[in-house]
Chain A
Amino acid sequence: MKSAVVLLPGLNRDRDMIAALTRIGGTPPVTVWESDGDIPDVDLIVIPGGFSYGDYLRCGAIAARMPVMRAVAEKARKGVLVMGVCNGFQILLEAGLLPGALMRNASLRFVCREVKLEVANANTAFTRNYRPGQIIRCPVAHHDGNFFADPETLKRLEGEGQVVFRYAEGTNPNGSMNDIAGIVNESGNVLGLMPHPENLIEAAHGGDDGRALFEAVLGIAA
């Protein structure tokens, strides 16, 4: 499986993401820049975390309007897997590829810690290597991860199994509605999540609970 990582000024977990994809997939992903109107033929596009354009407006708002995001949307329509992590999730929301919004953390502070995640839907292209209801460890590091959606959207997300990851065991770090940590779009090929599975994939990280996600999207048997 071939993958691409979107690079934008201000993103800063791109190197972590590239390292994870390379380590697990065996080959480094291609990279695409903010101004690239075309994305090469790949099976997976990843938008990593960081502070695109400083996040000086609403998080992800500027990034969502860059030419490369039109290309990402086009690929998503064609069914290519798209995954946005942290700032990448915020960008996918701002680009309209996922519903809802991410507000400032309820504590109003940046938070970096390990949380527990429940795999709320193991029947997606991203989570198929986890067991339904499995609890995994995963770090978070963000200032704006407080998921919000209007009641109707929330009902639809829950009803259609679009909630994929949920903060578990009282570890919701940001006040997200229904403990939502990650969601997919209706067709199930676009995932956005706040936690950083790319930072928990090897012994040096103190665990590898994030690995199964990458193995799933890179087509590697668990």
Chain B
Amino acid sequence: MTIPNDVKITDEMVKAHGLKPDEYQRILDLIGREPTFTELGIFSAMWNEHCSYKSSKKWLRTLPTTGAVVIQGPGENAGVVDIGDGDAVIFKMESHNHPSYIEPYQGAATGVGGILRDVFTMGARPVAAMNALRFGEPGHPKTRHLVAGVVAGVGGYGNSFGVPTVGGEVEFDARYNGNILVNAFAAGLAKTDAIFYSEAKGVGLPVVYLGAKTGRDGVGGATMASAEFDEHIEEKRPTVQVGDPFTEKCLLEACLELMASGAVIAIQDMGAAGLTCSAVEMGAKGDLGIELDLDKVPVREERMSAYEMMLSESQERMLMVLKPEKERQAEAIFRKWGLDFAIVGRTTDDLRFRILHQGGEVADLPIKDLGDKAPEYDRPWVEPRKPAPLRADDVPQADVADALLKLLGSPNGSSRRWVWEQYDTLIQGNSLQRPGGDAGVVRVEGHETKALAFSSDVTPRYCEADPYEGGKQAVAECWRNLTATGALPLAATDNLNFGNPERPEIMGQFVQAIKGVGEACRALDFPIVSGNVSLYNETNGQGILPTPTIGGVGLLADWKKMARIGFAAENHPILLIGAPPEWGTHLGQSTYLRDIHGRTDGTPPPVDLAHEKKAGDFVRKLIASGIVTACHDLSDGGLAVALAEMAMASGIGAVIPGLVDIDPIPVWFGEDQGRYLVTLNLDPHQEEMDDLVREAQTLGIFAPRIGSTGGPELKLGDARGIPVGDLKAAHESWFPAFMNG
């Protein structure tokens, strides 16, 4: 039964809409009367955490968002960055965590669909996607089901839509048992003079509804938490939306055709809070009112109420302000692609958001206030407790070769091939580096030499131990991964996943992580141009590991000089660039401690941002000079794992004599930051080699030659040599075995 629009608003209804009593009072003060039921829904949609960023806004403002190449920072559908020659890369990352836990296939699929839409709404053709996925412990009864569903959903949508998935992350930890994370990234290419924004311009112009029809799916997805109202809604449809990649692909082609026709004044996709959020955003940004006539909205179900239409999160829809003289041409494009096209309203000069339905006015609200006057909180926070550093005399020992094989075959260290082989990684014919390396690399279509590199990174266990250092490390690792291909990192998007911000210790994690992210972005000249915050990832009072995922984009001037991780030939000298004199020292929070000894203690490795920049710039310069034959950054598992990955990628082994009179464990498994391995097409006894080491020294970078490529095995110091085939067998077997159960 539909709730009448003029129903008396009760305290229960307010609560069910996720609004606090003082927030409701704010509504009463703003409009000077009791809201209608539809209006209450609109306020709850605009003022929930997801749309209003009310807990996070204060801190998000501290992030660096501008730079020489930034065309558009946060606040639009996606960030826009200049890559020269009149081209721009448009990208963003967004979470679909909660729906993916409830319904993994559709949750993940619509997450991918949503982020693709964010990118092509701005006029860009999507050219790359990534997915950062985090699941509970492998042994948890739901984990396998969630992995299978999420991966199939990501693939199902992206493959059908036709975008290559070139990178991402998959990680397991018990702290995600009740809240998995699905962070979807997409990037597209557009011309800098053909970028489309959501700001409406001009009074009395038609507001056009495009794409798929509106149904009851996803009504009030995030804000409707009460059992009372949930019953009404869920009796009709589950709250998780259903994705239709075929319609999305048609919508992409139709939108790009439409944009090329010159008909579009402003355009906005319908994501969270659907019609409400998109219409308010377009009007408020342009200082215009919007009037919508819901009787004109294409629907796929009968007798939908105004409330349901305004809050539906049906997928594959767009809202646009159209140049009236182009109406016929625009409609023909959408008909050709079998999509709906309906003029559903007009822009006005009265700054009201007015909704008409069945001859009546069901909502009439001040449009600017819906966004601007949303509550904003300075939530109390406490400094997170820091763990004690690992004592120097507390380094548990293990056989180096055994430990390496175990790390390579562990749930978090094993190959993700089972996952990424379900994604189309090479559609569009421009994928230069597919998953499995440091970053995905995609050629810029229409340009002879340019390519873009993409990487998604965060180390949640570091963030848990020290959110500030962890925030810094997430940015630094992303920047490092891009650099390791030879790309110049341009800008990043952040997807900040945390628990309940109303708990001061969680808010403390959030604040510190943002401080770390901001600090690193400033130091590395790597601004945040778009992003998303996902809070309340919490079950029974236990929050997830703080997970500020960073998705970065870099530019390669000439992809023919790009570096890959695989050892390219025998007898190439191997340099460890950016290392401390002992090569590796830091075992606190390392995967060695966690996966070999079951310990999660110590402080995470600190990130020296000045050193990071220096080492990275040096590596990039070496790659550009053309003498680097392989490059890989060091991260989880330290030097040993990085060397093994380089050997496995090509099948060529290496001999690393190691250091004498020193505990080998920190050397091989320490996770000190800011380090790279490079191999060079140089005779180690040549003068050029000496020059190179000297140049590094002058810059204050320690870059010892640690060994040489070649042979069928990886030989680390005194440890027994491991045939590359054995490394591969260990690395490749865990995931398929786990999924085959």
Partners in one complex: yes
Chain A contacts to B: CB under 8 angstroms: 9-10, 12-13, 15-16, 19-20, 50-51, 53-56, 109-113, 139, 141, 143, 196, 198-199, 204-205
Given known A110-B155, A204-B559, contact A54–B429 (CB-CB < 8 A): no
Tell me if B246 and A56 are in contact (CB < 8 A): yes
Is A10 a contact partner of B425 (Cβ separation < 8 A)? no
Tell me, yes or no, whether B59 is within 8 Å of chain A by CB: no
Residues of B within 8 A of A113 (CB): 421
Q: Chain B, 427-441, contact with A by CB distance < 8 Å: what is the 0/1 string?
A: 111101000000000
Contacts of A19 in B (CB 8 A): 429
Q: Report yes or no: B162 in contact with A13, Cβ–Cβ below 8 A.
A: yes
> Which of A20, A56, A143 has most chain B Cβ within 10 Å?
A143
Known: A9-B249, A204-B559. A199 touches B160 (CB 8 A): no
- Chain B 328-370, CB-CB to A under 8 Å as 1, else 0, gives 0000000001100000000000000000000000000000000
Which of A9, A20, A50 has the most chain B CB atoms inside 10 A of its CB? A9
Chain B residues bordering chain A, tally (CB within 8 A) = 29
Contact, CB under 8 Å: A139 / B429 = no
| Contact, CB under 8 Å: A54 / B425 | no
| Cβ–Cβ contact A141 & B427, under 8 A | yes
Residues in B with CB closer than 8 Å to A54 are 160, 244-247
Contact A111 B249 (CB under 8 A): no
Q: Does B250 belong to the interface (CB within 8 Å)?
A: yes
With A9-B337, A204-B559 already in contact, the answer to whether A110 and B430 are too (CB < 8 A) is no
A20 to B422, CA, bound (A): 24
Q: Among B162, B337, B425, which residue has the most Cβ atoms of chain A within 10 A? A: B162
Q: Mark B385-429, 1 if CB is under 8 A from A, else 0.
A: 000000000000000000000000000000000001111111111
Determine whether the beta carbon of B246 is less than 8 Å from that of A16: no
Chain B minimum-CB-distance residue to A13: B427
- Inter-chain CA distance A53–B249, complex, in Å, is 10
The interface residues of chain B lying within 8 Å CB-to-CB of A199 are 426-427, 429
Contacts of A204 in B (CB 8 A): 429-430, 432, 443, 559
In the docked arrangement, what's the CA distance between A136 and B443, Å? 24
Which residues of chain B are near A56, meaning CB under 8 Å? Answer: 246
Which 10 residue pairs of A and B lie closest in terms of their CB atoms, listed nearest first? Answer: A12-B162, A54-B246, A51-B160, A16-B429, A141-B424, A110-B422, A10-B246, A112-B424, A110-B155, A199-B426
Chain B residues within 8 Å of A, Cβ to Cβ? 152, 155-156, 159-162, 244-247, 249-250, 337-338, 420-430, 432, 443, 559
* Bound-complex Cα distance A17 to B246 (A): 19
Q: Are A112 and B422 in contact, with the CB atoms below 8 A? A: yes
The complex places the Cα of A10 from the Cα of B443 at a distance, in Å, of 24
Chain A residues closer than 8 Å to B429, beta-carbon distance: 15-16, 19-20, 198-199, 204-205
Q: Provide 28 A-B residue pairs closer than 8 Å at the C-beta atoms, listed in order of the A residue.
A: A10-B246, A12-B161, A12-B427, A13-B162, A16-B428, A16-B429, A50-B160, A51-B160, A51-B249, A54-B245, A54-B247, A55-B160, A55-B246, A109-B152, A109-B422, A110-B152, A110-B156, A110-B159, A111-B421, A112-B423, A141-B159, A141-B426, A196-B426, A198-B429, A199-B427, A199-B429, A204-B443, A205-B426
Whether the pair B245, A51 counts as a contact (CB closer than 8 A) is yes
Distance in Å from the Cβ of B169 to the closest Cβ of chain A?
Answer: 18
CB distance from A22 to the nearest CB of B (A): 12
Partner of B421, one of A20, A51, A112, A196: A112
Contacts A111-B421, A204-B432; is A12 near B426 (CB within 8 Å)? no
Cα–Cα distance between A13 and B428 once the two chains are bound (Å)? 7
Q: Give every chain A residue within 8 A of B250 (Cβ-Cβ).
A: 9-10
